[in-house]
């Protein structure tokens, strides 16, 4: 750790955007659609993910509007079912799962480990096309009438009782699943085989460790949801009977298969976000992440434990008491590595030289909200309280705290943090700080009342509710409006900054990762020559020495 507590950010007045970079190397729409450059694919993903986020967000807006009043008056109850189902499907499979890995992970992993590209660049492009095919199919489903099973495709509802578009939605998720499998596979191979000389496992940035753990989950868990969707489709079309009690099948088997993916899937969603947080916290505290090894292994531990807790989604579905006991215990265990991360980030702040740029504000938002989300998860992992709280708004609030308060904050932190690297320009600092604060306030207004609603017993998935719940629902809807503004602002000023933002220079934050030691935006091949890693991760003394030498060169040349 540097003893110098005064942070000196580089003077950007002399910075220029380099003429040759990955954005200018080739032109034309085909150079984007047929690219195999991981950075361009990341941009394709960023654009499409943002698009789907706003569709899912619009649906969330409709849900909150409907819940403004106790009666179901804005839309028919059937429509409401479809709206919350499509909100879930789009947000989970087309936003949260690919959000950080497919955009930031794609862009940064090769750069962080000192490689020219991912190991399988064409497979990487294929994953984007699969993602788009799945996404467009989901939109098509929505246009022709939607689906109302909930994003969980619960049997026997999805196989026997509804006449909505289960098959096309299932196909959309199936296809998007392969996109996720290929992304994860690509990351694992890349991290194993493409590291630059000297980049040992324990010199990898924690962002890479987190993605490695998430990728393992993508590779191992996603095929299971693929086969369960195949089974749903066959059950629905030709009645194979595996989920049909009249033929001896068991709907509960579907739950097991589905949650065997979908529980690890929440770690697929959150782990990459945790990777972002590690980078941001270290950079803006100018300190090595406290307990690097512990944070690295906690990612792996979350991935491993994550595979053995799926049945906590099924406590009231008729699994045996012993199963409840075991899965409850295992669920508590996941809290340990999550807590290790939170504590270590907090210790990283201790005696650091902290500054409050936008990514750091989002990160603080993440730490607070994720902690609340995580702790309420412990309530839900305890079977006694779970039986009271499950299927109420408590659950809704819990996973929105983790996914929106946690993951989305992390995503925004990451986008702001690496925006100068991706585009070569800075985002406007003041307004983005405002956006971060607005998001935080809006988020708490929206989702905190839902914890109270849940404890009072308001069930989820209904278009109407008893009038005594109205005040808290009005709070929640009002908060959602603020939250909407908070999410719209970044889109506006980030697009603005593409043209008018200040030129960033190579390393505006004085961060230590290899990705910051090259020009921004980077060259198509990332580095002029293959980097050699001769220092530990987050070594700020090394960076300081490096900068001093550069200064010396400039003065002696001048």
Partner 1 sequence: MPDNLVHSADAASSAHDEHPPYLRHHFNSAEQQADASNFAMWLFLLTEVMFFGGLFTAYLIYRNWYFPAFVAGSHQLNVVWGATNTLVLILSSFTMAMGVWCAETRRRKGLVLCLSLTFILGLAFLGIKSVEYREKIEKHHVPGFHYSMQSFLDPQSDPEVYAEYHDKPLTPDMAVHTELYFSLYFLMTGMHALHMIIGIGILGFMILRARAGAYTAGHVTFVENFGLYWHFVDIIWIYLFALLYLISRHA
Least Å distance between CB 42 and partner 1? 15
Residues that bind partner 1 (rule: CB under 8 A) add up to a total of 48
Q: If binding is defined by CB under 8 A, does position 204 make contact with partner 1?
A: no
- The helix (run of H) or strand (run of E) holding residue 555 is helix 540-557
Sequence-distant (6+) residues with CB within 8 A of 199 are: 113, 114, 514, 533
Task: Give the span between the Cα atoms of 232 and 290, in whole angstroms.
Answer: 46
Q: For partner 1, which stretch binds (CB under 8 A), given 178-186, 282-290, 389-397, 413-421? A: 178-186
Least Å distance between CB 535 and partner 1? 9
Assess contact for 458 and 392: CB atoms under 8 A.
yes
Task: For the chain, give the number of residues.
Answer: 558
Q: For partner 1, which stretch binds (CB under 8 A), given 74-82, 182-190, 358-366, 457-465? A: 182-190
Q: If binding is defined by CB under 8 A, does position 249 make contact with partner 1?
A: yes
Task: Give the span between the Cα atoms of 111 and 117, in whole angstroms.
Answer: 8
Q: Between residues 196 and 453, which has the closer beta carbon with respect to partner 1?
A: 196
Q: If binding is defined by CB under 8 A, does position 55 make contact with partner 1?
A: no
Assess contact for 386 and 380: CB atoms under 8 A.
yes
Q: If binding is defined by CB under 8 A, does position 188 make contact with partner 1?
A: yes
- The neighbour count for residue 56, using CB atoms within 10 Å, is 20
Using CB under 8 A, which of 206, 210, 257, 330 touches partner 1? 257
Task: Give the span between the Cα atoms of 307 and 97, in whole angstroms.
Answer: 17
- The neighbour count for residue 551, using CB atoms within 10 Å, is 10
Q: If binding is defined by CB under 8 A, does position 534 make contact with partner 1?
A: yes
Per-position x/- string for 420-439, each x denoting binding to partner 1 as judged by CB under 8 A, each - no binding = --------------------
Per-position x/- string for 99-138, each x denoting binding to partner 1 as judged by CB under 8 A, each - no binding = ----------------xxxxxxx-x---------------
Least Å distance between CB 354 and partner 1? 32
Using CB under 8 A, which of 181, 270, 274, 463 touches partner 1? 181
Both tokens of 52, joined, read 């789907």
Q: For partner 1, which stretch binds (CB under 8 A), given 193-201, 433-441, 448-456, 549-557? A: 193-201
Least Å distance between CB 254 and partner 1? 10
Task: Give the span between the Cα atoms of 176 and 535, in whole angstroms.
Answer: 39
Measured torsion, CA atoms of residues 304, 306, 307, 312, in degrees rounded to the nearest 10: 150
Task: Give the span between the Cα atoms of 286 and 547, in whole angstroms.
Answer: 15
Both tokens of 285, joined, read 């505290």
Q: If binding is defined by CB under 8 A, does position 198 make contact with partner 1?
A: yes
Assess contact for 361 and 433: CB atoms under 8 A.
yes
239: DSSP letter: -
* Touching partner 1, residues 360-389 (CB under 8 A): none
Q: If binding is defined by CB under 8 A, does position 240 make contact with partner 1?
A: yes
Q: If binding is defined by CB under 8 A, does position 319 make contact with partner 1?
A: no
Q: If binding is defined by CB under 8 A, does position 186 make contact with partner 1?
A: yes
Least Å distance between CB 44 and partner 1? 18
Q: What are phi and psi of 459, to 5 degrees?
A: -75, 155
Task: Give the span between the Cα atoms of 484 and 478, in whole angstroms.
Answer: 10
Using CB under 8 A, which of 12, 73, 136, 197 touches partner 1? 197
Least Å distance between CB 546 and partner 1? 15
Q: Between residues 23 and 221, which has the closer beta carbon with respect to partner 1?
A: 221
Placement of tokens 């005064």 in the chain? 6
Using CB under 8 A, which of 5, 20, 58, 193 touches partner 1? 193
CA 432 from centroid of its chain's CA atoms: 20
Residues that bind partner 1 (CB under 8 A): 115-121, 123, 181, 185-186, 188-190, 192-194, 196-198, 219-224, 226-228, 231, 234, 238-242, 247-250, 253, 256-257, 525, 530, 532-534
């Amino acid at each position: 750790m540097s003893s110098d507590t005064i942070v000196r950010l580089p003077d950007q007045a002399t910075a220029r955007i380099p003429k040759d970079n990955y954005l200018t190397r080739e032109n034309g729409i085909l150079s984007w659609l047929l690219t195999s450059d991981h950075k361009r694919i990341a941009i394709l993903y960023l654009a499409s993910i943002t698009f789907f986020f706003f569709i899912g967000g619009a649906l969330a807006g409709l849900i909150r509007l409907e819940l403004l009043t106790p009666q179901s008056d804005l839309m028919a109850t059937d429509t409401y079912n479809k709206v919350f189902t499509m909100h879930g499907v789009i947000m989970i499979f087309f936003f949260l799962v690919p959000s950080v890995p497919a955009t930031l992970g794609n862009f940064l992993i090769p750069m962080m480990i000192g490689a020219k590209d991912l190991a399988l660049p064409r497979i990487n492009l294929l994953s984007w096309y699969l993602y788009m095919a799945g996404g467009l199919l989901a939109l098509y489903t929505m246009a022709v009438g939607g689906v109302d099973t909930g994003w969980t495709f619960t049997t026997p509802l999805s196989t026997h009782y509804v006449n909505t578009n289960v098959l096309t939605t299932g196909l959309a998720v199936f296809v998007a699943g392969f996109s996720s499998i290929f992304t994860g596979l690509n990351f694992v191979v890349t991290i194993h085989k493409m590291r630059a000389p000297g980049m040992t496992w324990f010199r990898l940035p924690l962002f890479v460790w987190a993605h490695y753990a998430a990728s393992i989950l993508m590779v191992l868990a996603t095929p299971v949801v693929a086969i369960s969707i195949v089974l749903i489709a066959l059950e629905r079309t030709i009645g194979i009977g595996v989920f049909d009690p009249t033929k001896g099948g068991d709907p509960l088997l579907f739950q097991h298969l589905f949650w065997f993916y979908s529980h690890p899937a929440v770690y697929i969603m959150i782990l990459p976000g945790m990777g972002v947080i590690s980078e941001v916290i270290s950079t803006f505290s100018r300190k090595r992440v406290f307990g690097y090894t512990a944070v690295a292994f906690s990612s792996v531990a979350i991935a491993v434990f994550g595979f053995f807790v799926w049945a906590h989604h099924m406590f009231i579905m008729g699994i045996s008491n012993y199963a409840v006991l075991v899965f409850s215990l295992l669920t508590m265990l996941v809290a340990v590595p999550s807590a290790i991360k939170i504590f270590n980030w907090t210790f990283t702040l201790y005696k650091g030289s902290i500054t409050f740029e936008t990514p750091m504000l989002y990160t603080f938002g993440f730490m607070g909200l994720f902690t609340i989300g995580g702790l309420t998860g412990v309530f839900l992992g305890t079977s006694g309280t779970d039986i009271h709280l499950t299927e109420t708004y408590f659950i809704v609030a819990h996973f929105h705290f983790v996914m929106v308060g946690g993951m989305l904050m992390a995503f925004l932190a990451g986008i702001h943090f690496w925006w100068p690297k991706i585009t070569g320009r800075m985002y406007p600092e003041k307004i983005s700080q405002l956006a971060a604060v607005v998001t935080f306030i809006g988020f708490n207004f929206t989702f905190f009342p839902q914890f109270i609603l849940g404890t009072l017993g308001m069930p989820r998935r209904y278009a109407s509710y008893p009038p005594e719940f109205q005040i808290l629902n009005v709070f929640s809807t009002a908060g959602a409006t603020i939250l909407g503004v908070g999410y719209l602002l970044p889109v506006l000023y980030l697009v603005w900054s593409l043209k008018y933002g200040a030129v960033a220079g190579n390393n505006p934050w004085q961060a230590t990762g290899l990705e910051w030691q090259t020009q921004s935006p980077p060259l198509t091949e990332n580095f002029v020559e293959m980097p050699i890693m001769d220092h530990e991760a987050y070594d700020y003394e090394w960076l300081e020495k490096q900068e001093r030498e550069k200064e010396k060169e400039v003065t002696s040349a001048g």
